[in-house]
Structure 1
Amino acid sequence: MLPIRDHNPSGRTPYVVYALIAANILIFLSYVGIMNDAPLINRLYFDYAIIPARISDGLAFETFVTSMFLHGGWMHLAGNMLFLWIFGDNLEDEMGHVLFLVFYLVAGIGAGLIHVITAPESLVPTIGASGAIAGVMGGYLLLFPKARVDILLILIVYFRVFTIPAFVMLGVWLGMQFLGSLSSNLDEGGVAYWAHTGGFIVGLILCVPLWLKRGGMELWNQTHGHPPHPEAKYPLSRSRIPKIPRK
């Protein structure tokens, strides 16, 4: 399942989201040419990626920030930027530009710190904006739990767009990350599930003061978990592949 958009329009132009997406793309383009050159790309990761063992030795704390702007390939970059595009504008709308940027960076740093705590001796470089974006998703869940999200379902040759509440989509995503956290071996590389799980929780906690300022439970009672403004309406795209009836 892949989220493609939400029905939660923003009330202001999300300049920070635009800037973050542009920065991630431009930085990736600056080194994509050395992706197949092992010595160069490994040196880049050593200098700018989170390597938990170095952090544990009291070194390279700046990589908590620099690692957020590195990606391991086009799909890694595209997936992260899609999630930031869908969920980031509404938090920026609620927080304001400067506070949202601070929130994004703090959530990313928190996610990186949790990753280091769960694998303090790991020598595997960790890169990507997904920890910070997980924080955005955690904040989104708290503020707009019933905002509608359009999901693209792909089952081999079957494609279908359907709409579900944000709490279902984000809850399933968080559950998958948590299960991955319990079964992954961070020393072998792969997905940094604890960074995703931790970033989500950090983002949710960071948004509690804003949620309380907006009324807390009273906000949910007034909006029923939906966005506090009219939802966007989109025509759903049905699959053109004919269904085969059961006999």
Structure 2
Amino acid sequence: MNNIPTVTKNLLIINVLMFLGTLVAESYGIDLADYLGLHFVLSDRFNVGQLITYMFMHAGFTHVFFNMFAVWMFGRILEQVWGPKRFLAYYMICGIGAGLIQEAVTAVRYFTIESGMSPEAIQAVFEQGSKALQSNMNFVDPAMASLNLVLNSSTVGASGAVYAILLGFGMLFPNQPMFIFPLPFPIKAKYFVMGYALIELYSGLANSAGDNVAHFAHLGGMIFGFLLIMYWRNKNRGNGYYYN
């Protein structure tokens, strides 16, 4: 741990502590993900602070493990290149940006569903609110069930910021060879990042039944990461921050 840069180390510690805190809270009947996860802006459970807190909540051990593994593997390299302040700003801005993209995509889903519903049905969903979701209540109208899910589900995880870290590594070290299981040969970091982006785009557009992964939040983190790096690159051209 002593060899891990300060910000990376503290991000690892905070995320692990929050995950453990979630488990302890669950034993007392408290759902921290419900309070700190990112809800849709029209939900009565939404607050602006969730754009930050959702990044430090995770849905399970594998979720937090693989996110933090990526932060450790790639984040420490970015922090060593950029320094702690710039790396922390990058992580937080991209994480918030991922949340904003997720809100925008959810808004499209919400208004698409709402457009085919009667005002009475919409009002019924709002009146039931989160109680319907918590009690596993089944709406007779599938559109009502979908709208209720949109309104009362939450997004959790650092994946948006993590995908921004992957994007950052690919832009700073585009030709760095990487071994990716199960490929028997190395690929360059830039192709690794492009591949992940295409997979997330396809998965998001496919919108498969039962897929509860926020693919557009991942893409949102990468988009904000790209814009931020390009801004820094133009502003600080020639200062030694960027490598090929």
| TM-score, structure 1 normalization | 0.71
**Matched residue, 1:50:** 38
Aligned to 2:86: 99
1:161-209, Cα deviation, whole Å (9 max, x unpaired): 64321112111111100111111269x6600000001111111111113
d(CA) in 1 for partners of 2:179, 2:48 = 38
Which stretch has the larger CA shift, 193-202 or 79-88? 79-88
Q: Distance in 1 between matches of 2:33 and 2:17?
A: 17
**Whole-Å separation in 1 of the counterparts to 2:83 and 2:46:** 33
1:30 equivalenced with 2:12 (yes/no): no
Task: Supply the AA of the counterpart residue of 1:194.
Answer: F
Q: In structure 2, what is the Cα distance between the partners aligned to 1:29 and 1:161?
A: 37
| Structure 2 spans left out of the alignment, 5+ residues | 111-149
Q: Does 1:20 align with 2:11?
A: yes
Q: What's 1:109 paired with?
A: 96
C-alpha deviation, 1:138, in angstroms = 1.8
Q: Which amino acid aligns with 1:14?
A: P
Q: Percent identity?
A: 30
- 1:1-247 to structure 2, matched below 5 A, reads 13-33=4-24, 35=26, 40-41=30-31, 44-54=32-42, 59-120=46-107, 121=110, 122=150, 123-153=152-182, 162-184=185-207, 190-212=212-234, 213-215=236-238, 225=244
| CA RMSD across the alignment | 2.8
Quote how far apart the aligned CAs of 1:34 are.
5.0
> Could you say if the C-alpha distance between residues 59 and 219 of structure 1 is closer, same or farther in structure 2, counting changes exceeding 3 Å?
closer
Following the alignment from structure 2 to structure 1, what is the Cα–Cα distance between the partners of residues 60 and 241? 40
Question: Do 1:54 and 1:60's aligned partners in 2 also have CA atoms closer than 8 Å?
Answer: no
Residue identity matched to 1:112: G
Q: 1:60 to 1:189 in 2, by over 3 A?
A: farther
Structure with the larger strand share: 1
| Distance (whole Å) between structure 1 residues aligned to residue 184 and residue 4 of structure 2 | 27
Give the Cα–Cα distance (whole angstroms) in 1 for the partners of residues 19 and 90 of structure 2.
23
Give the equivalent residue in structure 2 for 1:229: none
> 1:150 offset after TM fit, Å?
2.6
Which runs of no fewer than 5 residues in structure 1 stay unpaired?
1-11, 154-159, 226-247
Q: 1:70 to 1:58 in 2, by over 3 A?
A: closer
Task: Describe the superposition over 1:1-38 as per-residue Cα deviations: whole angstroms up to 9, x where unpaired.
Answer: xxxxxxxxxxx95211111011101110112245588x
The 3-state SS of whatever aligns with 1:72 is: coil
C-alpha distance in 1, partners of 2:201/2:47?
27
**Residues 52-81 of structure 1 deviation map (CA, whole Å, 9 limit, x = unaligned):** 1447x7940100100000000010011101
Q: Which amino acid in 2 is paired with 1:75?
A: T
Residue 169 to residue 47, structure 1, CA distance change in 2 (3 Å): same
Per-residue deviation, 1:91: 1.6
Q: Judging changes above 3 Å, is the alpha-carbon distance between structure 1 residues 185 and 46 closer, same or farther for their aligned structure 2 residues?
A: farther
Q: Which amino acid aligns with 1:40?
A: I
1:90-118 residue CA offsets vs partner (Å, 9 max, x unmatched): 22122210121111111000000000001
TM-score, scaled relative to structure 2 = 0.72
Aligned residue for 2:137? none
